[in-house]
Chains A and B, each alone.
Chain A
Amino acid sequence: AQRVTQPEKLLSVFKGAPVELKCNYSYSGSPELFWYVQYSRQRLQLLLRHISRESIKGFTADLNKGETSFHLKKPFAQEEDSAMYYCALRGGSQGNLIFGKGTKLSVKP
Protein backbone atom coordinates (compact mmCIF):
# COMPACT_ATOMS: atom_id res chain seq x y z
CA ALA A 1 0.00 0.00 0.00
CA GLN A 2 1.12 3.51 -0.71
CA ARG A 3 1.54 5.62 2.37
CA VAL A 4 3.26 8.80 3.48
CA THR A 5 4.11 9.26 7.15
CA GLN A 6 5.00 12.52 8.79
CA PRO A 7 5.62 11.56 12.41
CA GLU A 8 5.58 15.07 13.87
CA LYS A 9 2.34 17.04 14.03
CA LEU A 10 4.11 20.09 15.38
CA LEU A 11 7.71 21.22 15.26
CA SER A 12 8.72 24.32 17.14
CA VAL A 13 12.17 25.90 16.75
CA PHE A 14 13.82 29.24 17.35
CA LYS A 15 14.84 31.57 14.58
CA GLY A 16 18.25 30.65 13.23
CA ALA A 17 18.06 27.03 14.40
CA PRO A 18 18.29 24.12 11.95
CA VAL A 19 15.06 22.47 10.89
CA GLU A 20 14.34 18.92 9.76
CA LEU A 21 10.83 17.86 8.89
CA LYS A 22 10.61 14.10 8.63
CA CYS A 23 8.85 12.17 5.90
CA ASN A 24 8.83 8.43 5.31
CA TYR A 25 7.01 6.66 2.55
CA SER A 26 5.84 3.23 1.59
CA TYR A 27 5.82 2.35 -2.09
CA SER A 28 7.03 -0.69 -3.96
CA GLY A 29 8.24 1.04 -7.11
CA SER A 30 10.05 4.29 -7.86
CA PRO A 31 7.98 7.14 -6.50
CA GLU A 32 8.07 10.84 -7.07
CA LEU A 33 8.28 12.77 -3.83
CA PHE A 34 7.17 16.33 -3.20
CA TRP A 35 7.03 18.84 -0.42
CA TYR A 36 4.13 21.29 -0.38
CA VAL A 37 3.81 24.28 1.95
CA GLN A 38 0.61 25.93 3.14
CA TYR A 39 0.84 29.33 4.78
CA SER A 40 -1.99 30.36 7.04
CA ARG A 41 -5.36 30.07 5.24
CA GLN A 42 -3.73 29.97 1.80
CA ARG A 43 -3.49 27.43 -0.96
CA LEU A 44 -0.96 24.63 -0.98
CA GLN A 45 2.13 25.55 -2.96
CA LEU A 46 4.80 23.28 -4.30
CA LEU A 47 8.00 23.80 -2.36
CA LEU A 48 10.20 21.27 -4.08
CA ARG A 49 10.24 17.90 -5.79
CA HIS A 50 12.97 15.33 -5.55
CA ILE A 51 13.65 15.07 -9.28
CA SER A 52 14.53 18.76 -9.43
CA ARG A 53 17.22 18.48 -6.79
CA GLU A 54 17.00 22.21 -6.20
CA SER A 55 16.92 24.39 -3.13
CA ILE A 56 13.88 26.60 -2.63
CA LYS A 57 13.81 29.27 0.10
CA GLY A 58 16.83 27.56 1.60
CA PHE A 59 15.06 24.20 1.91
CA THR A 60 16.47 20.98 0.53
CA ALA A 61 15.30 17.39 0.58
CA ASP A 62 17.13 14.24 -0.43
CA LEU A 63 15.41 11.06 -1.42
CA ASN A 64 16.88 8.13 0.50
CA LYS A 65 15.53 4.97 -1.08
CA GLY A 66 17.24 2.73 1.43
CA GLU A 67 15.50 4.39 4.33
CA THR A 68 12.42 5.30 2.24
CA SER A 69 12.69 8.85 3.50
CA PHE A 70 12.46 12.33 2.04
CA HIS A 71 13.21 14.64 4.95
CA LEU A 72 13.01 18.39 4.46
CA LYS A 73 15.89 20.43 5.86
CA LYS A 74 16.89 24.02 6.30
CA PRO A 75 20.06 25.08 8.13
CA PHE A 76 18.72 28.34 9.57
CA ALA A 77 14.98 28.73 10.14
CA GLN A 78 13.26 32.08 9.61
CA GLU A 79 10.02 33.31 11.16
CA GLU A 80 8.41 33.45 7.72
CA ASP A 81 8.96 29.70 7.39
CA SER A 82 6.15 29.12 9.89
CA ALA A 83 3.52 27.11 7.99
CA MET A 84 2.10 23.64 7.43
CA TYR A 85 4.36 21.35 5.44
CA TYR A 86 3.04 18.34 3.57
CA CYS A 87 5.07 15.53 2.11
CA ALA A 88 3.45 13.85 -0.88
CA LEU A 89 4.06 10.83 -3.07
CA ARG A 90 3.11 10.09 -6.62
CA GLY A 91 3.65 6.54 -7.81
CA GLY A 92 4.23 5.17 -11.29
CA SER A 93 1.66 6.24 -13.83
CA GLN A 94 -0.80 7.42 -11.24
CA GLY A 95 -2.01 10.94 -11.58
CA ASN A 96 -2.84 11.68 -7.98
CA LEU A 97 -0.75 12.68 -5.00
CA ILE A 98 -0.91 10.89 -1.68
CA PHE A 99 -0.26 13.27 1.19
CA GLY A 100 1.06 12.83 4.67
CA LYS A 101 -0.91 14.39 7.52
CA GLY A 102 1.37 17.40 7.61
CA THR A 103 3.73 18.99 10.10
CA LYS A 104 3.10 22.43 11.48
CA LEU A 105 6.37 24.33 11.72
CA SER A 106 6.47 27.18 14.19
CA VAL A 107 9.56 29.40 14.16
CA LYS A 108 9.82 31.57 17.25
CA PRO A 109 11.70 34.87 17.35
Chain B
Amino acid sequence: DAGVIQSPRHEVTEMGQEVTLRCKPISGHDYLFWYRQTMMRGLELLIYFNNNVPIDDSGMPEDRFSAKMPNASFSTLKIQPSEPRDSAVYFCASSRSSGNTIYFGEGSWLTVV
Protein backbone atom coordinates (compact mmCIF):
# COMPACT_ATOMS: atom_id res chain seq x y z
CA ASP B 1 0.00 0.00 0.00
CA ALA B 2 1.20 3.53 -0.77
CA GLY B 3 0.29 4.75 2.68
CA VAL B 4 -1.77 7.80 3.50
CA ILE B 5 -1.66 10.17 0.56
CA GLN B 6 -2.09 13.89 0.96
CA SER B 7 -2.29 16.72 -1.52
CA PRO B 8 -1.07 19.29 -2.10
CA ARG B 9 2.30 18.82 -0.42
CA HIS B 10 2.92 22.54 -0.40
CA GLU B 11 0.57 25.47 -0.84
CA VAL B 12 1.11 29.18 -0.63
CA THR B 13 -2.01 31.27 -0.78
CA GLU B 14 -3.15 34.79 -0.07
CA MET B 15 -5.19 35.72 2.94
CA GLY B 16 -8.89 35.41 2.24
CA GLN B 17 -8.56 32.63 -0.30
CA GLU B 18 -10.14 29.22 0.09
CA VAL B 19 -7.81 26.32 0.77
CA THR B 20 -8.73 22.68 0.25
CA LEU B 21 -6.50 19.90 1.53
CA ARG B 22 -7.10 16.34 0.40
CA CYS B 23 -6.43 12.96 1.92
CA LYS B 24 -6.65 9.37 0.79
CA PRO B 25 -6.42 6.98 3.75
CA ILE B 26 -4.91 3.52 3.63
CA SER B 27 -7.34 1.10 2.06
CA GLY B 28 -9.35 -0.78 4.66
CA HIS B 29 -8.79 1.76 7.42
CA ASP B 30 -11.98 2.97 9.03
CA TYR B 31 -10.56 5.81 11.12
CA LEU B 32 -9.33 9.05 9.58
CA PHE B 33 -7.73 11.92 11.47
CA TRP B 34 -6.75 15.49 10.64
CA TYR B 35 -3.97 17.01 12.76
CA ARG B 36 -2.33 20.42 12.61
CA GLN B 37 1.30 20.97 13.55
CA THR B 38 2.78 24.34 14.49
CA MET B 39 5.89 25.39 16.37
CA MET B 40 3.85 27.06 19.08
CA ARG B 41 1.18 24.44 19.72
CA GLY B 42 2.74 21.22 18.50
CA LEU B 43 0.38 18.56 17.16
CA GLU B 44 -3.32 19.24 17.59
CA LEU B 45 -6.17 16.96 16.62
CA LEU B 46 -8.65 18.89 14.52
CA ILE B 47 -11.24 16.23 13.74
CA TYR B 48 -11.55 12.52 13.26
CA PHE B 49 -13.95 10.23 11.43
CA ASN B 50 -15.01 6.64 11.96
CA ASN B 51 -16.64 4.92 9.00
CA ASN B 52 -16.94 8.30 7.27
CA VAL B 53 -18.85 9.83 10.20
CA PRO B 54 -17.30 12.72 12.16
CA ILE B 55 -16.80 11.57 15.75
CA ASP B 56 -15.04 14.49 17.39
CA ASP B 57 -14.62 17.90 15.80
CA SER B 58 -13.93 19.79 19.02
CA GLY B 59 -10.45 20.63 17.80
CA MET B 60 -11.63 22.52 14.74
CA PRO B 61 -10.55 26.10 15.47
CA GLU B 62 -13.57 27.97 14.18
CA ASP B 63 -16.25 28.05 11.56
CA ARG B 64 -13.73 28.85 8.87
CA PHE B 65 -12.62 25.23 9.07
CA SER B 66 -14.70 22.35 7.74
CA ALA B 67 -13.97 18.71 6.97
CA LYS B 68 -15.82 16.11 4.99
CA MET B 69 -15.46 12.44 4.24
CA PRO B 70 -17.83 11.56 1.41
CA ASN B 71 -16.55 8.00 1.15
CA ALA B 72 -14.09 5.60 2.73
CA SER B 73 -11.23 6.59 0.46
CA PHE B 74 -11.34 10.38 0.48
CA SER B 75 -11.49 13.30 2.87
CA THR B 76 -11.09 17.04 2.57
CA LEU B 77 -10.19 19.78 5.01
CA LYS B 78 -11.29 23.21 3.88
CA ILE B 79 -10.36 26.63 5.21
CA GLN B 80 -12.47 29.53 4.02
CA PRO B 81 -11.40 32.29 4.26
CA SER B 82 -7.79 31.53 5.10
CA GLU B 83 -5.74 33.70 7.46
CA PRO B 84 -1.97 33.95 8.08
CA ARG B 85 -2.37 32.24 11.48
CA ASP B 86 -3.59 29.13 9.64
CA SER B 87 -0.06 28.61 8.32
CA ALA B 88 0.97 25.16 9.54
CA VAL B 89 1.57 21.60 8.47
CA TYR B 90 -1.67 19.67 8.21
CA PHE B 91 -1.37 15.92 8.65
CA CYS B 92 -3.91 13.33 7.70
CA ALA B 93 -3.70 9.92 9.36
CA SER B 94 -5.65 6.69 9.34
CA SER B 95 -5.98 3.46 11.30
CA ARG B 96 -7.84 0.20 10.93
CA SER B 97 -9.62 0.41 14.24
CA SER B 98 -9.40 2.22 17.54
CA GLY B 99 -6.85 -0.22 18.89
CA ASN B 100 -4.42 -0.15 16.02
CA THR B 101 -1.48 1.94 14.94
CA ILE B 102 -2.23 5.31 13.38
CA TYR B 103 -0.34 5.93 10.14
CA PHE B 104 0.43 9.47 9.02
CA GLY B 105 0.66 11.06 5.62
CA GLU B 106 3.55 13.29 4.64
CA GLY B 107 1.62 16.43 5.45
CA SER B 108 0.43 19.49 3.56
CA TRP B 109 2.61 22.53 4.22
CA LEU B 110 0.33 25.57 4.12
CA THR B 111 1.54 29.15 4.06
CA VAL B 112 -0.99 31.96 4.06
CA VAL B 113 0.46 35.37 3.23
Which residue numbers of A lie inside 8 Å of B, CB to CB?
32, 34, 36, 42-46, 49, 86, 90, 93-102
A102 to B44, CA, bound (A): 12
* Count, chain B residues at interface, CB 8 A: 23
Other-chain contact of A49, B48, B56, B93, B101 (Cβ < 8 Å): B101
Contacts of A90 in B (CB 8 A): 98
- Closest-by-CB residue of B relative to A6 is B42
Which residue numbers of B lie inside 8 Å of A, CB to CB?
31, 33, 35, 41-43, 45, 48, 50, 55-56, 91, 93, 95, 98-99, 101-107
In the complex, are the beta carbons of B48 and A44 less than 8 A apart?
no
Tell me the interface secondary structure of chain B in the complex.
strand
In the complex, are the beta carbons of B55 and A101 less than 8 A apart?
no
Number of inter-chain CB pairs below 8 Å: 48
A97 to B45, CA, bound (A): 8
12 inter-chain pairs at a CB distance below 8 angstroms, sorted by A residue, are A43-B107, A44-B93, A46-B103, A90-B98, A95-B95, A96-B33, A97-B45, A99-B43, A101-B41, A101-B42, A102-B42, A102-B43
**3 nearest A-B pairs in the assembled complex, by CB-CB distance:** A101-B42, A99-B43, A95-B98
In the complex, are the beta carbons of B107 and A95 less than 8 A apart?
no
Q: A95-B48, A96-B48 are in contact. Are A43 and B55 (CB under 8 A)?
A: no
